[in-house]
Chain A
Amino acid sequence: MVTASGLTDEEIIRRVLGGEVDLYEALIIRHRQHVGRIVKGHVPRDLVEEVTHEVFVRAYTSLPTYSFQRPFQHWLSTVAIRGCYDVWRNAAARKEVPFSELSNTTDDEREWTEQVLAAESRERFDAVCRQREATDVLQRALAQLSAENRMVVTLVHLEGHSVREAADLLGWTVVNVKVRAHRARHQLRKILDTIVKDSP
């Protein structure tokens, strides 16, 4: 049995490219949490495993293009981000949203919004933010953005990446990301205004 312990990512990649395919499993185990965390930031939780799976398969098929000039994890992050973008781009091309995000706001979500707005202490605010409904409200708001604006607002506004970092991850120009970041933030803000007005 081939073991990958003690080997760097780059050494494993060279051996995988040389035909030792089973060693790729070590890369999956090393980086699955990292990729899963990225994916979870961009797709609803019920799709996280499936999209992460696709990211690792795509990374494998693209492995010959890995240049070894930057850390593998960074390269893998770009594959993951572009995989998430494809989810939304394909959904838009099929003119469908893959989840029930555009259906009416549920009572639970309305109640959650009310709790957030009424939170009187930092502890209470943090506790409310950790509730499942927080993600549902966020996903529903993001579902109203285009695939491109959704990716940019998630990377720049929600995750705090710089415009340059987001541009690098998406493979877009800095100017494109900068313009979209401004526009997408404005759209998201209008959506949140509507949610606030609709709350009891």
Chain B
Amino acid sequence: MSRSTHEQQADTLERALIHAHRVRTVPNFSSEWTENVMQDVRCQSDAGMVSDDAPQLVWRAAAVVVLVSALFVGSLLTWMARHGELDGSALMTMTADDSLLLDR
């Protein structure tokens, strides 16, 4: 059997499967099935309606906080580099001095 015949047969099979997929029958759902779904929905309601997206929102908020923090630290380091006379240790010393003044 030649390769092209195989390809033609695979084409036919592919068309058949696409057709089979598209003509599939629509399922019928009974009123009992609907009532079962509603029972679960009421259970969820009793437990408090919590969105599935809640954990995702927490992660997004955390990502924003990390991004803002990184931008702040980056800006601070850039500012310090531009003002060479004031290095990190000097900044720490100034902060310590300020707290000593406040104590007095």
Q: In B38-90, which residues have CB < 8 Å from any A CB?
A: 38, 40-42, 44-45, 49-53
Q: Which residue of A lies closest to B14 (CB)?
A: A192
Determine how close the nearest CB of chain A comes to the CB of B5; give it in whole angstroms: 9
Per-position binary interface string of chain B over residues 22-43, scored 1 when its CB falls under 8 Å from any chain A CB and 0 otherwise: 1110110100011011101110
Cβ–Cβ contact B21 & A62, under 8 A: no
Partner of B42, one of A21, A53, A160, A192: A21
Q: What chain A residues lie within 8 Å of B53 (beta carbons)? A: 62, 65
Chain A residues within an 8 Å CB radius of B21 = 41, 135, 138, 154, 158-159
| Structural contact, B26 and A65, CB atoms closer than 8 A | no
**Contact present for A116 and B13 (CB under 8 Å):** yes
Residues from chain B with Cβ under 8 Å of A40 in the complex = 24, 26-27
Inter-chain contact B29/A52, CB cutoff 8 Å: yes
Q: How far is the CA of A157 from the CA of B26 in the complex (A)?
A: 20
Q: Are B17 and A33 in contact (CB under 8 A)?
A: no
Bound complex: CA A159 to CA B6 (Å): 25
Known contacts A49-B27, A196-B6: A57-B13 contact under CB 8 Å: no
Q: A193 with B49: in contact, given A56-B37, A159-B22 (CB under 8 Å)?
A: no
Answer yes or no: B20 CB below 8 A from chain A CBs: yes
Asked whether any CB of chain B lies closer than 8 Å to the CB of A81, the reply is no
Q: Which residues of B contact A62 (CB under 8 A)?
A: 51-53
- Which of A24-32, A69-77, A94-102, A174-182 participates in binding chain B? A24-32
Residues of A within 8 A of B (CB): 21-22, 24-25, 28-29, 32-33, 36-37, 40-41, 45, 48-49, 52-53, 56-58, 60-65, 113, 116-117, 125-126, 128-130, 134-135, 137-138, 141, 154, 157-160, 188-189, 192-193, 195-197, 199
Contact A25 B49 (CB under 8 A): no
- Chain B interface residue bracket vs A: 20 to 34
* A21 adjacent to B52 (CB under 8 Å): no
B104 sits at the interface (CB 8 A) = no
- The answer to whether B13 touches A60, judged by C-beta atoms less than 8 angstroms apart, is no
Q: What residue of chain A has the Cβ atom nearest to residue B17's Cβ?
A: A138
- CB atoms of B36 and A33 under 8 A apart: no
Query: In the complex, what's the smallest C-beta–C-beta distance from B52 to chain A, in angstroms?
Result: 5
Which residues of the other chain, A, contact B23 by a CB distance below 8 angstroms? 126, 129-130
Minimal Cβ-Cβ distance residue in A for B11: A192
- Indicate if B9 sits at the interface (CB-CB under 8 A): yes
Return B56 CB to nearest CB of chain A, in Å: 10
